[in-house]
Structure 1
Amino acid sequence: MSGDTITHEVPPAVTATAGKRDTLFTPSRAARELALRRSEFDLAVSLGRIRTLPDEGGSRRVTRAEIERLRSEEDFPEALRERVRTVGTGDGAKTMEVTAARFTRLARLGLLVPVAFYLNRYRTVVWLYLAGELGEFAADPKNAALLNRPLPEGLRDQLDTGVDLRSRNWRGRHLGFLLRQADDPWERAAAVASLLDPLQVSEIVGDPYERAHLNRFRLRPPAHGTPGSPAAHLAERITTAQDPDEIDWLRADLARAVEEARTHRPATRPAPRHIPRHPAPAQHTHPTKKPGRPKHLGQLDLAGRLDLAGQFDLAGQFDHAGQPEQTTRPGRSRRSGHPGRPHGLLSRLFGRGI
């Protein structure tokens, strides 16, 4: 190295942090590393094909070791893509070498379980199936009669009554996906609650703090359409339990899961508010005042004036409205006739010691 080169030594803490950050991949980054579309990656995680770890933010991460394990497999990435490849009714019927009508009947009877769905522009539900599972179903000799012969009478009767188990089977499978990724009892309870109507959940979990804690872990299915639109209502109907026996089973499972979660860790509650208690103000005792002259009777000052409703001075002037009165004779009171003295009422007042 030349003498003009300046080197900086990286602190060990920085190196450790960078190494730790590089060992975990976000879902988007992991999908690119595995040459998968994001939908294929999410399905692979749900099926358990890709192992993930929870992070502090509530999402999932993929370790570098898991990425290397998958990339070292034979026929990567084609083999991984084939394991998560999905097909609709048309391609599924071709895979099983049956007509589309028979394929739909088998799916309505619950013999073929969908793994995903979406709504097309006509708001029609398009069910998706794993291509590998359809191939295994067709290759099983036990199912040959269902593919090549008329359906048994019992199955035809169910179809005549309008049975369609595709939505229910999807919900059961989706619940299995959620439970596979649940690492906490509250997460397992939230997985069950995600398939129930909020009213059903509130009846089982009456404590509002427990419901709020449950909603923290509750995962919503992918959105379909604008909230409040007909497409969104249709998707909500598919993702929410509808059959009475299914609802009863989920309610019982939710009650049991919440009880286990309470035992493991109570729900978070707000800290009680502390209201400081201030000591009561001291009662100051005042000395008892001696009864004095009533204020409405006026006060006599040193100048000899009595302020009653007006003024009275030693000159004999008295006026209730504050104006001097006209006397018949100068220096005399109008009633008493004695100069310099108040009239009879004031005499009585003075006589009583006021």
Structure 2
Amino acid sequence: MTVDEGARTVTPGQAAEELELRRGEFRLAAQLGLVRTVPVGDGERRRVERAEIDRLRAAPDFPEGLRERVREVGTREAAALLSVPPDRFTRLARTGHLSPVRFYLNRYRAVVWRYLAAEVTEFALAHPALLTGRLPLDVRKRLDAHEDARPRNWRARRLALLLRATDDPWARAAAIASMLHPVHLAEVVGDPYERAHLDRLRPPPQPGQPVSQAAREITDLLALADAPDEVLWHRMSLTLALEEARADRPAPHPGEVPARAPLPPRGVEPPLGRGLGPDRDPDPGLEPDPALEPGPEPGSVAESVPASEIPAMRLPAVRPGAELPPRGGSSRSRLLDRLLRRKTAGAPRGGRGKRPVAWP
């Protein structure tokens, strides 16, 4: 870092103090792109430009507006924002009407989901009919089938943040690969050197990862796609991402030096706190914020999910000749058609400009 860079940028800790945010709030603001950060030097450290701080402080609603956009709420607080009972909010979240921004395990190893308060308020304005009266029939059927879309929606949000944080094709492919069980990953990526390269670029877990092995197994399970259509979607997205990565440069073999390091070039913080490579030291300016790890609220049974209720990992085999979803005009159908046409027409591998599509 040059003297000039040090003069026009500040550390994340100093930026959080000047923006009147707690460390956890600043981390979330950077991940969501509300606070733009820039890479410094050849490493993965990021700083905030002085001009960015001045821009945010000049907002008429500063600092309350910025704090409100990154405010997290649990089930009871979210239900109060909607003026509904907590169990009704839980039913809406389980059926995919709201997406968690993160989760943690409480002392009983129950999964506690957290939501953005701003998104909860927007949902109330956009869907007032779901807040009163009987829920629609399709929602009731999904509840009767014991569906829970919260892990899937959290994975979709996490992948979107990872893909937005970098333009490097191998880093983007590694982000998609992190959604797949090793069995599915080995079926899509046959080259062991490519799999090793993807593993080196594997995104780190979210901050606050539990220490105990049993709790870590629960969080690892939640990070992997399990529904057959979700697995198929990520497999196809990884196939397209690998074509773009191979066209950019081959995966390094033993003894080779990578052509270039996958630094996040965009003005956003690498999501989940520690960059896009393995074994990275955490940023000293972003220590874990104990205030963002509250215990369960008294009587908040609807907010947590016992670990025993998390379904076992399903590993549906998706191989050539498997029945695919019907074609149509959706982005998912267009991706299916595109992949099938390429395989049947014998199109050459590679090609620039393709982007893996995050799960909607």
TM-score, scaled relative to structure 1: 0.68
Q: Provide the C-alpha distance between the structure 1 equivalents of 2:148 and 2:184, rounded to a whole number of angstroms.
A: 23
Which sits farther off after the overlay, 185-194 or 83-92? Answer: 185-194
Quick one: which of 71, 76, 80 aligns to 2:66?
A: 80
**Among candidates 221, 231, 248, match of residue 232 of structure 2:** 248
Report deviation, 1:127.
0.7
Matches within 5 A, 1:125-144: 125-140=111-126, 143-144=127-128
- Counterpart of 1:181 in structure 2 is 165
1:226 deviates by 1.6
Residues 1:102 and 2:96 aligned together: no
Give the Cα–Cα distance (whole angstroms) in 2 for the partners of residues 259 and 72 of structure 1: 44
The whole-number CA distance in structure 2 between the counterparts of 1:252 and 1:30 is 40
In structure 2, how many angstroms separate the alpha carbons of the residues matched to 1:169 and 1:103?
Answer: 15
Q: 197, 208, 216: which is aligned to 1:213? A: 197
Instruction: Indicate which of 150, 173, 176 corresponds to 1:192.
Output: 176
Q: Distance in 1 between matches of 2:145 and 2:2?
A: 62
Aligned to 2:102: 116
Give the match for residue 224 of structure 1.
209
The reply to whether residue 159 of structure 1 matches residue 143 of structure 2 is yes
The alpha-carbon deviation at position 23 of structure 1 amounts to 2.6
Whole-Å separation in 2 of the counterparts to 1:17 and 1:175:
33
Measure the CA separation in 2 of the matches of 1:227 and 1:205: 31
Report the 3-state secondary structure (helix = DSSP H, G, I; strand = E; otherwise coil) of the residue aligned with 2:112. Answer: strand
| Alpha carbons of structure 1 residues 185 and 95: separation in structure 2 relative to 1, 3 Å | same
User: What is residue 308 of structure 1 aligned with on the other side?
Assistant: none
C-alpha distance in 2, partners of 1:269/1:201?
19
From the superposition, tell whether residues 54 and 251 of structure 1 become closer, same or farther in structure 2 (CA, over 3 Å): farther
The one of 9, 12, 19 equivalent to 2:4 is 19
Q: In the alignment, which residue of structure 1 is the partner of 2:261?
A: none
How far is the alpha carbon of 1:96 from its aligned partner? 0.4
- Matched-pair contact (CA < 8 Å) for 1:46–1:180: no
Superposed, 1:264-283 pairs within 5 Å as 264-271=248-255
Judged with a 3 Å threshold, the aligned counterparts in structure 2 of structure 1 residues 247 and 207 are, in CA distance, closer, same or farther, namely: same
Aligned to 1:169: 153
Structure ranking higher on relative contact order (CA contacts 8 Å, 6+ apart)? 2
TM-superposed CA distance for 1:232, in Å, is 1.0
Q: Which residue number corresponds to residue 71 of structure 1?
A: 57
Superposition pairs for residues 19-58 of structure 1, below 5 Å? 19-55=4-40, 56-58=42-44
Deviations 1:104-160 (A, max 9, x none): 0000000011111111111111111111111111122xx222111101222111101
Q: Is residue 27–residue 61 contact of structure 1 (8 Å, CA) maintained in 2? A: yes
Q: Give the partner amino acid of 1:188.
A: R
**Identity value in percent:** 53
> Is the Cα–Cα contact under 8 Å of residues 46 and 178 in structure 1 kept in the other structure?
no
What is the number of residues matched between the two proteins?
A: 254
1:204 to 176, 188, 192: 188
Name the CA distance, whole Å, in 2 between partners of 1:207 and 1:63.
41
What is aligned with 1:260?
244
Deviation at 1:271, TM superposition (A): 4.5
Kindly provide the amino acid, as one letter, of the partner of residue 108 in structure 1.
Answer: R
- C-alpha separation in 2, matches of 1:202 and 1:29: 43
Determine the structure 2 residue equivalent to 1:290. Answer: none
Structure 1 distance, partners of 2:172, 2:47, is 19
CA distance in structure 1 between the aligned counterparts of 2:150 and 2:201, rounded to whole angstroms? 26
Secondary structure in 2 aligned to 1:118?
strand
Gaps of 5+ in 2: 257-360
Q: Secondary structure at 1:105's aligned position in 2?
A: helix
Q: 1:334-345, aligned counterparts within 5 Å?
A: none
Structure 2 counterpart of 1:91, from 77, 83, 93: 77
Quote the Cα distance in structure 2 between the aligned partners of 1:213 and 1:63: 32
Larger Rg: 1
- Which SS does the other structure have where 1:19 is aligned? helix
Paired letter, 2:125: A
Write the deviation string for residues 290-323 of structure 1: whole angstroms up to 9, x where unpaired.
xxxxxxxxxxxxxxxxxxxxxxxxxxxxxxxxxx
Alpha-carbon distance in structure 2 between the residues aligned to 1:214 and 1:22: 36
Q: List alignment gaps of at least 5 residues for structure 1.
A: 1-15, 273-354
Q: 1:189·1:258 contact (CA, 8 Å) conserved in 2?
A: yes
Instruction: Give secondary structure in 1 for the equivalent of 2:2.
Output: helix
Single out whichever of 16-25 and 120-129 deviates more from structure 2.
Answer: 16-25
Deviation, structure 1 residue 21:
2.5
